[in-house]
Amino acid sequence: MNILLATSNSHKLGEVQAILGLQGIVVVGLNETERLIDEPIEDADTFAGNARLKAAGYAKATGKRCMADDSGLVVDALGGEPGIFSARYAGIGESREERDAANNELLLTNLSKRGESESPARFVCALCVADPDGTIVAESEGAFEGVITTTPRGVHGFGYDPLLFLPDVGMTSAELSEEEKNARSHRSVALRKIIPLIT
């Protein structure tokens, strides 16, 4: 079975390929041409809503069954921020690396403005699969719990991984290998739930 993952985020693509590959599912990323066809506006107010918009939009634009992932970091001490705005929290940076660095810095600044140094937090992932006519075929969600640390650590992963400390292993998500992250991440939980719905 082949599925198109509707994302411009190569890190997401790699994680999904590793997990679904173990099930014999081949995950294809958007190529540059397809990406330029039609980029849906993510204006829903939930992760699930944005995943639906992306899956249906790209499925109709490409004529293929599509899976979309909408995800982000929910920080309790920030009232759930950055949440659905995780990718563009700071609103600056040309490259993904620059945006990630600015987002991480802003998150720590906002925490310290509230007099907080650590806070319970979680990554959330909403997945959606849509058919070429835009019909939603399956949906799922997963969460990955941790605590925000003010001392970012680790070089693996992407986004806010260096900030999510995992007390049970004494490491941040960015200090986990790809295999270790995939064994427990929000994305892997959501993928394991959706696999039986699409196979």
Nearer Cβ to ligand ITT, position 85 or 198? 85
List the catalytic residue out of 43, 69, 70, 168. Answer: 70
User: Does residue 168 have an active-site annotation?
Assistant: no
* DSSP helix/strand/coil, 157: coil
Where does this chain touch ligand ITT (CB under 6 A) — which range of 5-13, 57-65, 105-113, 135-143? 5-13
Q: How far apart are CA 136 and CA 169, in angstroms?
A: 37
User: What is the spatial distance between Cα 168 and Cα 189, in angstroms, rounded to a whole number?
Assistant: 18
Residue pair 28/5 in contact (Cβ under 8 Å)? The answer is: yes
Q: Is 108 helix (H, G, I), strand (E, B) or coil?
A: helix
Q: Shortest distance, CB of residue 157 to ligand ITT, whole angstroms?
A: 5
Q: What are the DSSP calls for 34-82, one per residue?
A: HHHH-------SSHHHHHHHHHHHHHHHHTS-EEEEEEEEEEGGGTT-B
CA max distance for the chain? 50
Give the nearer residue to ligand ITT in terms of CB position, either 24 or 147. 147
Cα–Cα distances (Å) from 106 to 33, 92, 109, 110, 157, in that order, read 33, 11, 5, 6, 19
Of the candidate spans 6-14, 106-114, 129-137, 145-153, the one that interacts with ligand ITT by CB under 6 A turns out to be: 6-14
Residue 52 interacts with ligand ITT (CB under 6 A)? no
Complex with ligand ITT: residue 17 or 24, whichever CB lies closer: 17
Segment near ligand ITT (CB under 6 A); pick from 57-65, 132-140, 145-153, 159-167: 159-167
Whether the ω angle into residue 82 lies within 30 degrees of 0, i.e. cis, is yes
Position 69 contacts ligand ITT (CB under 6 A): yes
By rule CB under 6 A, what count of residues binds ligand ITT?
A: 20
Residues in the chain: 199
Three-state DSSP class for residue 139: strand
57, 157, 166, 182: which one binds ligand ITT (CB under 6 A): 157
What does the per-residue mask of binding to ligand ITT show for 160-199, with x meaning CB under 6 A? xx-----------------------x-x------------
* Contact residues for ligand ITT, defined by CB under 6 A: 7-9, 12, 69-73, 86-87, 103, 123, 157-161, 185, 187
Q: Which positions are annotated as active-site residues? A: 70
